[in-house]
Amino acid sequence: MLMPKYINVNGRLMDLSEAQVMGILNITPDSFYANSRKQTEEEIILRVRQIIDEGASIIDIGAYSSRPNAENITPAEELKRLRFGLEIIHRIAPDAVISVDTFRAEIAEACVEEYGVAIINDIAAGEMDAKMFETVARLNVPYIMMHMQGTPQDMQLTPHYENVVKEVFMYFAEKVDKLRSLGVKDIILDPGFGFGKTLEHNYELLNYLDDFKIFELPLLVGVSRKSMIYRLLGTTPDEALNGTSILNTIALMKGANILRVHDVKEAVETVRIVKTMQSSVNH
């Protein structure tokens, strides 16, 4: 039997022992998967409705593209884009659980205080803003922290590890310790597939994903349409849905609690199939 893993989202408990799907809402002009970029009001409305209708329980909104070599936009520009998107979500889906994808403490604070954003999703685990940990502690919201070697601008130049699994482990152990000492209650770990990692590093991490259970914390996996799929297969992000579903299946079987995806319907179906299979084992 899976132990419950609850996080507190806006005063409600979300049980992550049953895997949840997080739908990506990119309000950027330059995210790596062109089909995911939503900039007009109409595009955002359609995308929000699609995420909800297809069965995701979390909407992850991001205004700063973290693809390799992405443009480093100002905090003012990031917040302007987020306010535009959050206003629309509030209007059409006031009860939606929203996660904001940002590594900047001031942005996290504004989104939680102005729009009741429920979760902070930080690709830099506090490395790109020294105030992030204390801000999250003060805001008292669940915090997703991802492992990344370097920054979005340089992470894929020369990723190097002596032992990628061990180093990501040590990184998380240190960060969790720090967050706990500040009083952060709900911590979610994201190994950071594709962030400062070679193709081999990514598959090694996926292979050892179930070892992360030692932390007894929820795990988020984001492999949706990433280069670890399309580079391996010699295709493009547009052709990486089948590979995404395969990797999501493996991730769920190795203990993933949240799947962060572009394609919600397919991920929800994957969760349902794996859950049915696992419950038949438990009977």
Query: Which residues participate in catalysis according to the annotation?
Result: 226, 260
Dist. CA 63–CA 31, nearest whole Å: 9
Dist. CA 105–CA 103, nearest whole Å: 7
Residue with the two structure tokens 């593209």:
65
Dist. CA 246–CA 270, nearest whole Å: 9
For 183, the 3-state DSSP assignment is coil
Cα within 13 Å of Cα(98), Cβ side: 28
Residue with the two structure tokens 């936009």:
73
Closest by CA to 53, choosing from 276, 268, 260, 259, is 268
Q: In the chain, helix, strand, coil percent, each to 5? A: 45, 15, 40
For 64, the 3-state DSSP assignment is coil
Dist. CA 250–CA 100, nearest whole Å: 26
Dist. CA 132–CA 148, nearest whole Å: 15
Dist. CA 146–CA 99, nearest whole Å: 14
Phi, psi of 226 (to 5 degrees): -80, 170
Strand-pair partners of 6 = 15
**Cβ contact 262:36 at 8 Å:** yes
